[in-house]
Amino acid sequence: MAGFETLAWRGDLPGALEIIDQRALPARHDLLRLETVPAAWDAIKTLAVRGAPAIGVAAAYGVVLGAQEALARGGGGDGVAQAALAAADHLATSRPTAVNLFWALERMRRALGRLVDRGVAGDGAFVARSLLAEARAIHEEDRATCRAIGRHGAALLGRGARVLTHCNAGGLATSDYGTALGCIYAAVEGGNPVTVLSCETRPLLQGARLTSWELERRGIPVTLISDGMSGFAMQRGRVDAVIVGADRIARNGDVANKIGTYGHAVLAREHGIPFYVAAPVSTFDLSLASGAEIPIEERAPDEVTTFGGQRVAPEGVDVWNPAFDVTPARLVTAIICERGVIQPVDEEHVMALAGAGGWCR
């Protein structure tokens, strides 16, 4: 989309995963070539690749890297399979909240299990190629999923809607197009002149650095605001809808998304503004009854105490840095997924639309 690929597998076997280094945007458009499992793990952990769907795709290719390394060492089918499983286990430790990571890794494990069940896992090259095919399938399916989410979401936006979004749920967070931003792109492509308010998203500024960059590249009018301005913008009638992505959605419809999302949802309810969540079915964790059970990642204090490489807080100050918060289902107007729109948001309607295909331990 708009002249960039968030991530791509380059070559066949041997090959490598190439990603945009999102830590460098918008100042630089750097590409990273990942050739080992530790490199893929580090890219996910340090947010070089980020966004729940993109993390899942990157992790799937990371499993291929593990198989490829074993194959290069002369491993047979058993060795390649064991290396792939070890890679999956290691990649699962990179980040705890985005369930797409675990969904994709489980899908890769199941693909490997099918090879064993069919008795065709004795050839190391065949195992590695089969895993690459599965990772590519996950990648392509995510592209189609984002397009479907966009179509469903665009139908919810009125003519010329002014949409507030938080963090980045666009092409940079997925294989292509995005989830929350996908709804905006589809609306604009359909002739609806939607405009966007992008919250900067402290502490790592994904809204300022990434969402604004994406929208400008697509020629969509975007106004950047700080996170604390959203309530005033709603009060002054500058917001018609809020659309965000998600990293994990519980069975009852509670939503974990980038820290700050909950506050926007409360403000939207106060001002009678619809609050939409756009996410693929793979983001639903059907094993969790509610958002209270969602594991919330806590990140390093220096993300809060520094800004642009400069310290902005006194030495020794205590810091709490949760990367996500949980928005209760009662504040969510609708969840938009590739299968349609979940409304009202409750366990009955979540299970009716996402019950087959969501993550379940």
Name the residues annotated as catalytic.
247
Paired residues of 256 in beta bridges:
248, 326
Tokens of 331: 């504040």
Report d(CA 267, CA 334) in Å as an integer: 16
Report d(CA 23, CA 99) in Å as an integer: 22
Buried b (16+ CB within 10 A) or exposed e, 183-196: bbbbbbeeebebbb
Nearest C-alpha neighbor of 261 from the set 164, 186, 340: 164
Report d(CA 261, CA 247) in Å as an integer: 12
Nearest C-alpha neighbor of 275 from the set 215, 343, 339, 213: 343
Report d(CA 218, CA 134) in Å as an integer: 31
- The 10 Å Cβ neighbour count of residue 304 is 17
Nearest C-alpha neighbor of 20 from the set 31, 10, 9, 11: 31
Intra-chain end-to-end CA distance of the chain, in Å:
34
Report d(CA 125, CA 67) in Å as an integer: 9
Which helix (H) or strand (E) segment holds residue 311: the answer is strand 310-311
Report d(CA 33, CA 45) in Å as an integer: 16
> Given the structure tokens 């729109």, which residue do they identify?
341
